[in-house]
Amino acid sequence: VDMFKAGYNVEFNLKHLNKMDHVVAVSQTLSSMIAKHMTAIAPKLVTILDVLNPQLITTLADAEIPPDLPKHDINSCPLLVTVARVSPPKNYLLAVETASALRSKGIDFHWLFVGDGPDMPKVKSRIDELKLNNIVIPIGVRTNPYPYMKACDVYVQTSRFEGFGLTVGEAKILHKPIVSTNFTVVTNQLIDGKNGLIAEMNPESLSTAIIKMLKDPHLRQCVVENLKTEYNQTSVTEVKKVEQLLDED
């Protein structure tokens, strides 16, 4: 996690991290931030990306279409999907406000929230207040979220902060057009306009980026084609890094 934005007690953590043989960050940007703010442990820092298994994810994504998946068509009623724990760092309330902005701009759509967590009552209440029922649909936790991700027209990430952004990596493996907020480490995975779009953390910017992705088939196709040229090898490369650390000790 971005422990600085998450409100962790840095001094308390540093006391314990000083006792470790190695300290692992899950993105290069996060590693640089830790080295800057916690210089005492900089020599111990190692970057090991979150491990993803493309074969497993694509296999799970090919499972039977879930019965609660709404009918959709990218030209008339596209499907947006967000998969995350419903908690403050994931910023689902921004997603609800963005949905309201999309509707006010005349966009017909469905938006599935896959996940659960402590913010769910607030999220459902805001959906009710904005009269977005049957448009924004919180479906709770699913043991296999990948068919929902595969089915979407645009995958949307609304996080305030991340250590890496695991679901962005999963959406990339499934070659989905991605629109994400500009959390600190997002540029470790996305290049704006090349393999996704990066928006500011407000409903106007995020809704504009979503509409751009939906309405520009050339952009969407370019993003998909660029994602197809990427191959996530973390299940090999990052596991080797872990093994090397263990061998050293």
Residue boundaries of the structural domains of the chain: 10-47, 56-228
According to the model, what pLDDT value does residue 249 have? Answer: 61
Residue spans of the chain under pLDDT 70 = 249
User: 214 CB contacts (<8 Å, ≥6 apart)?
Assistant: 74, 78, 107, 153, 154, 220
Sequence-ordered alpha helix ranges (H) in 143-185: 146-151, 166-173
pTM assigned to the model: 0.90
- Radius of gyration of the chain measured on its C-alpha atoms: 19
The sign one gets for the Cα dihedral 185, 187, 188, 189 is: positive
Choose among 85, 147, 72: nearest CA to 116.
Answer: 85
The pLDDT value given to residue 216: 97
For residue range 36-63, list pLDDT tens digits in order. Answer: 999 999 999 999 999 999 999 999 999 9
Chosen CATH of 56-228 out of 3.90.1150.10, 3.30.470.10, 3.40.50.2000, 3.30.1490.20: 3.40.50.2000
| Residue 67: per-residue pLDDT | 86
